[in-house]
Amino acid sequence: MSAPLILVLNGPNLNLLGTREPEIYGTDTLDDIRVVTERTATQLGCTVDFRQSNHEGVLVDWIHEARGTAAGIIINAGAYTHTSIALLDALKGVSLPVIEVHLSNIFHREAFRHTSYPGRAAVGVIAGFGGQSYVLAVAALANLIKTAA
């Protein structure tokens, strides 16, 4: 039996992590976060497909592709968190468990960041722990996947 696959999606500007506003997002690069996310998933008996795009339609396509291949989705939609009904509809349409992650605590930031569309399709939201948010999300999703099996 193969290890359950967790799709980890990252939205716009997350490719700039490590240099973009390190006082908010920290100094870990997206590749640093990918490494610890994959390591955690392996320890928990899962595999990870870790992706990033600056394009909303690409993220929607990847969510659609997850149907029938992934056991769950972790998403950091970046700025699309606060604007994308398309991502919300895609996540709802694939009927997979979803966990939303954010590096910063979006509720301690500007008021417009307090709204999350993808979060409405998520079983949970983890925010404010930097790169550790992804590790926590993998642990939570792996648990959900195993208890549903």
* Residues recognised as catalytic: 25, 102
**Contact assessment for residue 50 and residue 38, using Cβ atoms and an 8 Å cutoff:** yes
- The three-class DSSP label of residue 102 is strand
**Would you say 39 is a known binding-site residue?**
no
Partnered with residue 74 across adjacent β-strands are 8, 99
Looking at residue 59, the DSSP 8-state letter turns out to be H
**Would you say 103 is a known binding-site residue?**
yes
**Would you say 95 is a known binding-site residue?**
no
**Contact assessment for residue 102 and residue 118, using Cβ atoms and an 8 Å cutoff:** no
Beta-sheet strand order (sheet of 72-76): 47-52, 5-10, 72-76, 98-102, 124-127
**Would you say 54 is a known binding-site residue?**
no
Partnered with residue 6 across adjacent β-strands are 48, 72
**Would you say 144 is a known binding-site residue?**
no
**Would you say 55 is a known binding-site residue?**
no
Residues within the annotated binding site for substrate?
76, 82, 89, 103-104, 113
Binding residues: 76, 82, 89, 103-104, 113
